[in-house]
Amino acid sequence: MACIFCEIIAGRVPGKIVYTSPDVTAFRDINPQAPTHVLIIPNRHIASALEIGASDAVLLGRLFEVANELARKEGIAEEGYRIVINVGPNGGQTVGHLHLHLLGGRRMTWPPG
């Protein structure tokens, strides 16, 4: 089944890409929920956080490393921001390719909706 995020990585679907590398890609969310809303994803198709195991430790570190780099580049690192991973239907996951949401530029509320 075609995965929209795999298509964006492959360049077959346009995306506002802000970071590329052999293992991780980041692009702006098409429906931003904050002034900064970037999605950070592994280039390898992983359906959700539920599939992550110890063998993915390096990749997970890379996802956070890229999130940190982009938070600094977007100018939200000092004031703070939120990293979100939605998992499954109750978690609000709508795209079946693991992604970190990097959200910033406004005050976040808690608890999340």
Residue 94 interacts, among ligand 5GP, Zn ion, none and using kind-specific CB cut-offs from 5 to 8 Å, with ligand 5GP
Q: Cis omega before residue 42 (within 30°)? A: no
List contacts with ligand 5GP (CB under 6 A). Answer: 4, 15, 27-31, 39, 86, 92-95
Residues in the chain: 113
Please identify, using beta-carbon distances, which residue of 43 and 77 lies nearer to Zn ion: 43
99 is catalytic: yes
The listed partner (Zn ion, ligand 5GP, none) that binds 86, CB under 5 to 8 Å by sort, is ligand 5GP
Q: Count CB neighbours of 50 within 10 A.
A: 11
Torsion of CA 74, 34, 50, 23, to 10 degrees: -30
What is the nearest approach in angstroms of Zn ion to the Cβ of residue 72?
27
